[in-house]
Structure 1
Amino acid sequence: MSNESMHEETYSVAANPVYHINHPLYVLFAGESQTKPQHAVGPKIYDYYLLHYIEQGKGVFRSEQHVYELGAGSCFLIHPGKLVSYASDSYDPWRYRWIAFSGSQAQLTAEESGLGSNQPVLTNIHKDIIPTAMASIRDAFFTKKESSDMASLGYLYLILSEARDILSGQIRPTGTESQVLRAVTQVIHYMSAQYAHPVSIEHMCESLGYNRAYLSRIFKKETSLTPITYLLKLRIDKSRQLLRERPELSIEQVAASVGITDALYYSRQFKRLCGQSPSAYRISLSKPTPS
């Protein structure tokens, strides 16, 4: 039996039933293929992002800077406008899945995933999250439902977030200073996202996986504030913005919008940090500036 007959070529692709113009991010199509031995594409350029996940086999991917020999459990992301080529092995050709995506935010999203133009390859993928999500996009598009467009975007984010997790695990911060900075940055991001909710320092530490005493110590060393004080100042700053921009909101509504349910406590803390009450601050905004 010839090697080609052992690896009979298959090809299947499904396109997004929704046509996009000037959208920030969207999936164009998704497919899968068993390639023939020495199946080759390029050198060529694409005008969209094209992500391949290799399920079986071996082959070579060539970017403008590097040559990568890739096997099962690897991904390679082709960036638009970059000259690339890729070819399956002569004896053990690739079976892979692929998705294409584009949009004004596609480059930023790809870079944030870690799969930038300087690092377009991801290896040692042990979990099936990425191939399963890629298959789900193709299956959704085959239904021809317009809702599959929204579903595909969710799956795309899932794929790229998994890539980011894998890459961050392979390239961890080194040294105590880097670890401290990473922890403090995580706390700041957590508070910035959760300040409108009843944030508990205990729950935050548990969610981020840090000991409370350790986190409080390094946070104060880096910011000169305890996490509790930082959160309060963040809430007061956000409330000042609401007092300026939303005059129709009552003081109680402003306080609740920044995660403080006790309006009296909010007013006391606002005056302590800003030198005047929320009401006085709002009134001062309406006074004309002396010429």
Structure 2
Amino acid sequence: MANEQQRPAQLLDGQGDFGIREVMMPDLESTFRVFAAHLRTVSSGWTYPLHSHPLFEINLLLEGRQLIRVNGQDYQQQPGDLLIFRPEDLHESRNDGGSDMTYYCIHFDTDERELRELLCRGSRRHFSSDSLLARNARPSLNRLMEFAGADDTPGNGEYKRLQIKMNTLSAMFGLFAALTEGFAHPQEIRSGDLRSSRIAEEIAAFLERSVERTAEQSGFALDEGELKETVASAITGLGYSPSACTRMFQEIYGISPRRYLSRLKLKKAKLLLMQPELSIEQISCRLGYADIAHFSRQFKRWTGESPGKFRARVHI
């Protein structure tokens, strides 16, 4: 989810009778995660067991032949073909040729609501090398593989490592743009899908407004009871049972409403910590915690590091 505010063009007064025409770009707040990206060559007979995970995954075959089973359906992957898995897809794979096989795999997650919906829409998993999506995504994937092989060891210099990181981030945003373009021309959507999309969008919008409103009023905490109550309020009045609403939300965004709300609130905590003028005590109070210790424990449980360590890492 990215918060955007498109500002109209303005005519700003200058000295004398002259003016400057200024067009403001949208404000953006967006986070994403990249995990366990790897380039791997395996021998004939190699297999990877059945598993699932809460992240999106892209698998690009470079050499050889791969058979991947996703949710019980087999896909034969040729060089250049992409397979895109949604969160919690059950999948397993094997080298289906008689020689070595090379593939690139990247796991990622994003809070961009519209992108999540595009990635989760429909049942298509396999994209051949000549498809629009595979062609558009390949340059960014090539860049990611190039940067993955770059030498970023400590002795190589701080700025070299920073350059590799920034180039990797640039390639990831390029990949997201390519995925958006590739999925922006969906096949005919069933009326049931339209209904699910509408219900999921209403729930997501309610949760987003709730986070912004309660943060401004200094009144939310990341406890399970509060999460459950807020999700229940989001579902009330939509005309469907809580289980049906949860199922539709999961189908559209690949995540439950409660987990989506948790991520929104954690994101708000991180954004506040990136404002150096606010003390951690002030942030703790704004987020509805009785004391810093409670906030610190909760933040560390979610991120693996304390608020102070997070702040020191993102500020020079």
TM-score, normalising length: structure 2: 0.39
Which has the greater radius of gyration? 1
TM-score, normalising length: structure 1: 0.42
